[in-house]
Amino acid sequence: MRYVTKQLHCGDTLLKSLDSEIQEVSRTLNEHPWSPTFSFETPNTTVQHQTAYNRSFSSSLYDAGWKLQPRLSESPRLIGDFAKGLVFGEIQFGNSSTLYRDYYKFQYGLQNGLLSLAILIVPHNEYEFFPTRGESVRNMANFTLAHRYFEVLPISVPTIIYGLLADEENVTM
């Protein structure tokens, strides 16, 4: 799958020290095809769209040695989607307001020495990425919004934002 990335508050030393983990996330995304009707089969069921991508990415990351549903804190209850070492990630196909919750998790993790790098995976353009979902993608988190939020919020959390692209989506950056 194609994607665009934006690095926020990441120094060269940090990126170099975590290059292996960053490359594993990139490989995971590259291994997954985009489809307007993406589905993922589990032993008991077949899921589609957002749930399918979440489970498929999680399965691949787990196979690469990543911890799934890592906890930063019990109280407040802060759980992510994946983590390895000091890299903590979220796959966000929810409402745009969830970006603030993700940012809070990232900030909490950095402030408490639980992460050095946050990774956020979102669709670049939710309407292109999920074209068959119609109105159900209204107000979904997306790359432009995440970049804007994370760039202006007052704490500088080292973050890489991945914006997932539909095959026919053209992006100029």
Q: Residue 137: its pLDDT value, please? A: 67
**Between residues 119 and 133, the one the model is more confident about:** 119
pTM: 0.94
Kind and range of the H or E run holding 73? strand 71-73
CATH 3.40.91.20 fits 3-161, yes or no: yes
Most confident of 11-25, 40-54, 158-172: 11-25
Q: Residue 173: its pLDDT value, please? A: 58
Lowest mean pLDDT among 74-78, 114-118, 146-150, 153-157: 153-157
pLDDT level of residue 56 (50, 70, 90 thresholds): very high
Q: Residue 169: its pLDDT value, please? A: 85
Mean pLDDT (the chain) is 93
Q: How far apart are CA 155 and CA 139, in angstroms?
A: 25
Q: Residue 151: its pLDDT value, please? A: 84
Q: Residue 43: its pLDDT value, please? A: 86
Query: pLDDT by residue (tens digit) across 63-99?
Result: 999 999 999 999 999 999 999 999 999 999 988 989 9
